[in-house]
């Protein structure tokens, strides 16, 4: 069984339509004027002239369908007797074979916003995700004849690529996956990966992916509240850790300056008490209340 021929765009050099149109109009007007002049001068129309005029008029239905107007960033794919002949990419007024079907195809950049879909990320959390994709037809033959409907094909492949992207990456790094890419934290890498994924999928249809980015990313409503609490807890823990690190550094610096300036000599017990008091003051949320100590640590 023979394999189908590989489709690839063939660029056609179009025939200008204006000279042919002017010639057809001039020929028919000339024949009409000749017939009228012969009828006035001779009182009759020569048979050969009448036959020529009828032939010219009958040829119009077979000639006029060949004219076409192509706008900027548009193309026409010509199919003659079931065989692809080529694509005209130039804009203007042209003429082609009248029996060839001329399928229009847009060469403009198309902006597509996908619908927001619900998927599970790498760790199984349900999330809502959507994307904006900019694409352009690069090979008109593949776009028109390799797939049924390239617009619908693009929409389906966008959704498929988004689902796969979400399934191989976590929403964020709350699970301490420091060595991986997260959907929320690595937007540039995710966009590049989505663009490459789409380009591989749309190559069959002759589509070039110009840009692809996530336009919507959020936890699904059923877990959004719980995930918000977890994010708040992570933020609180991170802030507390930062405060403790700063407090320890300040205490260490204070003890170092006391020893360096020889202000007071502290034993281990007094030093531990001083450290505890300083940490309470530095890490507490409320202002410290002064306490007058009238005794000593040893009685």
Whether 265 and 242 map to the same domain: the answer is yes
CATH at 168: 3.30.479.30
Residues 200 and 247 in one domain: no
C-beta of residue 131 within 8 angstroms of C-beta of residue 158 = yes
Domain extent for 193: 110-219
* 117 and 210 fall within a common domain: yes
Whether 121 and 210 share a structural domain: yes
**What is residue 4's predicted lDDT score, i.e. its pLDDT?**
45
The domain boundary residue, chosen from 164, 188, 219: 219
The whole-angstrom separation of Cα 248 and Cα 88 is: 74
Return the pLDDT at 208. 94
Are residue 38 and residue 85 in the same domain, yes or no?
yes
Q: How far apart (Å, rounded) are the C-alpha atoms in residues 261 and 251?
A: 15
If one counts the domains in the chain, the total is: 3
Question: Can you give the pLDDT at residue 207?
Answer: 94
Report whether 179 contacts 203 (CB < 8 A).
no
237 in the same domain as 215: no
Helices (H), 124-213: 140-145, 150-167, 187-202
Strands 126-137 and 117-120: antiparallel
**Residue 279 and residue 237 share a domain:** yes
In a domain, 291, yes or no: no
Q: Are residues 185 and 228 in the same domain?
A: no
3-state secondary structure (DSSP) of residue 112: strand
Which residue in the block uniquely carries the two structure tokens 């199919």?
A: 79
Do the Cβ atoms of 7 and 84 come closer than 8 Å? Answer: yes
Report the predicted TM-score, pTM, of the whole model to 2 decimal places: 0.68
b/e 209-246 (16+ beta carbons within 10 angstroms → b)? beebebeebebeeeeeeebeeeeeeeeeeeeeeeeeee
The interaxial angle of helices 150-167 and 187-202, nearest 10 deg, is 140
Both structure tokens of 150: 């390239």
Q: Which two tokens stand for residue 214?
A: 């996530």
Instruction: Give 207: exposed, middle or buried? Use CB within 10 Å, 0-12, 13-18, 19+.
Output: buried
Question: What are the 10-residue block averages of pLDDT along the chain, 299 residues in total?
Answer: 61 89 81 69 64 72 87 93 92 91 92 90 87 94 92 94 91 64 86 93 93 89 66 70 77 74 68 70 64 56
Which pLDDT does position 157 carry in this prediction? 94
């Amino acid at each position: 069984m023979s394999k189908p021929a590989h489709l690839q765009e063939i660029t056609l050099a179009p025939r200008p339509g204006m000279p042919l149109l002017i010639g057809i109009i001039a020929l028919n007007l000339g024949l009409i004027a000749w017939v009228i002049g012969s009828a006035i001068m001779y009182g009759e129309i020569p048979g050969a002239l009448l036959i020529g005029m009828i032939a010219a008029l009958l040829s119009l239905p077979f000639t006029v369908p060949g004219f076409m107007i192509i706008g900027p960033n548009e193309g026409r794919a010509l199919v003659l007797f079931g065989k692809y002949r080529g694509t005209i990419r130039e804009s203007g007024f042209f003429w082609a074979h009248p029996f060839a079907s001329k399928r229009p195809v847009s060469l403009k950049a198309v902006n597509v916003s996908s619908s927001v879909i619900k998927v599970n990320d790498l760790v199984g959390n349900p999330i809502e995700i959507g994307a904006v994709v900019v694409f352009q037809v690069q090979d008109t033959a593949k776009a028109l004849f390799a797939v049924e409907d390239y617009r619908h094909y693009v929409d389906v492949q966008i959704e498929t690529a988004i689902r796969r992207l979400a399934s191989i990456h976590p929403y964020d790094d709350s699970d301490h996956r420091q060595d991986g890419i997260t959907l929320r934290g690595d937007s540039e890498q995710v966009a590049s990966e989505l663009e490459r994924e789409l380009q591989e999928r749309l190559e069959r249809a002759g589509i070039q992916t110009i840009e692809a980015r996530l336009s919507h990313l959020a936890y699904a409503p059923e877990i959004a509240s719980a995930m918000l609490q977890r994010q708040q807890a992570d933020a609180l823990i991170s802030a507390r850790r930062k405060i403790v690190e700063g407090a320890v550094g300040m205490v260490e610096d204070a003890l170092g300056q006391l020893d360096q300036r020889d202000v007071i000599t502290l034993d281990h017990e007094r030093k531990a008490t001083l450290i505890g008091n300083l940490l309470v003051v530095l890490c507490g949320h409320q202002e410290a209340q002064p306490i007058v100590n009238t005794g000593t640590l040893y009685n």
